[in-house]
Amino acid sequence: MSQFDVTIIGSGPGGYVSAIRCAQLGFKTAIIEKYATLGGTCLNVGCIPSKALLASSHHYEELQHFADHGIEVSGEVKVNLEKMIARKQAVVDQTSGGVKFLMDKNNITVFNGLGSFESATSVKVTKEDGSSEIIESKNIIIATGSKPSNLPFIKLDKERIITSTEALKLKEVPKHLVIIGGGVIGIELGQVYLRLGAQVSVVEFMDRIIPGMDAALSKELTKVLKKQGMKFYTSHKVQSVDNAKNVVTVKAENTKGEIITFEGDYALVSVGRRPYTDGLNAEKAGVKVTERGQIEVNNHLQTSASNIYAIGDVVRGAMLAHKAEEEGVMVAEIIAGQKPHIDYNLIPGVVYTWPEVAAVGKTEEQLKAEGIEFKSGSFPFKALGRARAGGDTDGFVKILADAKTDEVLGVHMIGARCADLIAEAVIAMEFRASAEDISRMSHAHPTFAEAIKEAALAATENRALHV
């Protein structure tokens, strides 16, 4: 029987990063992965493959605008979806292989199979061939992640009525892709196929897309994507989804009580994700699971069993890879007797469309609901020299600061490179910077980052220079 100091169940970003940090801290560490490849949802059927397809489709879309830059492309330009999907898979394989290299480098023992509790200190690993072995461990970290959610009346055939997993490996560009859910995943994959020639219709229950983000970002992203050709049907409640002879019919009720019918060749069900604990046998270890299927944890991510912790999508909070990574490191350091800390208000959120959308901190709606007095400063990308030079003039940066202290409370941006620019806002807020602090820091010219400085100036007595 193998014995370890720490065993992690699940090798996604939270699990494998936690394993590395445990090994760095001197613990004999094991990681258990149900599937043949490491990396979890993010690396295999989530973050990495979707960004690969977004990048490939973005290159194709850029070709349509080369003439604006004085570049004339002669001959036919075609999309080879099979090669695009193959490239995506190559990126996934390389990245997953990189995780295996890191496990070997850090002397982490990898077990392939389904991990399930036998007790609070023992885990059974059941392999594909049915054989099993027991691992004994002083501490155990649950990092089993999440799976796509579904609506109870929708039958997923995974051929025409699909989830994000199937959308990453289609064999043809849809003629009409109906997306149920206007959140991050649906919008990103919708833009991939929109660029490749599909008609895309988004049916959303809430009154706007990306409803968890600042309303101004939702409004701007809707405007830009409409300009690109995407169609939106917000405040529509889906009633049924059926596939008959490869024609998918989606029926939804609008605010007037009318039933609106959508017909497409594919329907992507993108209504969020659910914690994944199937087969874990958490009750055998005395680990409590909430009604929503989440592992119940305290502020130290400790479960009801004192030596067992849980991180990432399987616990409360945003389902983000980088949130899981921070939690994985925190738990490793807690086990080592250190006192790490995570400020969940400063975990950034990103939508990898083009323009990109990114945010950190409080939204305007949250500040109003909490009765916090604030001031706001915005700066449009169209007033930015670098944006005009590159032809990426959609979007803006908005900074929300405390009305009395000037401390930055939230930063919300949409535009080119915002997925990278948001890090500046996170750093500033981690050090509790004021809007004036940011406004007095030199930003290279011409850059997209200047929009952050200008927004800070706008929030500081309306002092923006270039608008």
Taking a C-beta distance cutoff of 8 angstroms, is the pair 290, 296 a contact?
yes
- Containing 91, the helix (H) or strand (E) segment is helix 81-105
Report the distance separating Cα 37 and Cα 17, nearest Å: 15
Q: Half-sphere exposure of residue 383, counting CA atoms within 13 Å on the CB side? A: 15
- Containing 47, the helix (H) or strand (E) segment is helix 47-63
Report the distance separating Cα 387 and Cα 446, nearest Å: 9
Structure tokens at 268: 């992507």
**CA distance readout (Å), 149 to 139, 152, 188, 309:** 30, 9, 17, 24
Report the distance separating Cα 339 and Cα 329, nearest Å: 11
Q: Which of 59, 69, 300, 445 is catalytic?
A: 445
Strand partners, 238: 252
Whether residue 446 is preceded by a cis peptide bond, meaning omega within 30 degrees of 0, is yes
Name the residue among 276, 344, 332, 295 with its Cα closest to residue 40: 276
Residue 445 catalytic?
yes
**CA distance readout (Å), 253 to 128, 208, 275, 285, 313:** 44, 16, 29, 45, 31
Name the residue among 407, 388, 390 with its Cα closest to residue 399: 407
**CA distance readout (Å), 12 to 19, 41, 96, 143:** 10, 6, 10, 7
Amino acid at the residue 299: N
Report the distance separating Cα 168 and Cα 234, nearest Å: 25
Q: State the DSSP string of 358-399.
A: EEEE--HHHHHHTT--EEEEEEEGGG-HHHHHHT----EEEE
Local structure of 236: helix, strand or coil? coil
Q: State the DSSP string of 418-431.
A: HHHHHHHHHHHHHT
Catalytic positions, written as ranges: 445
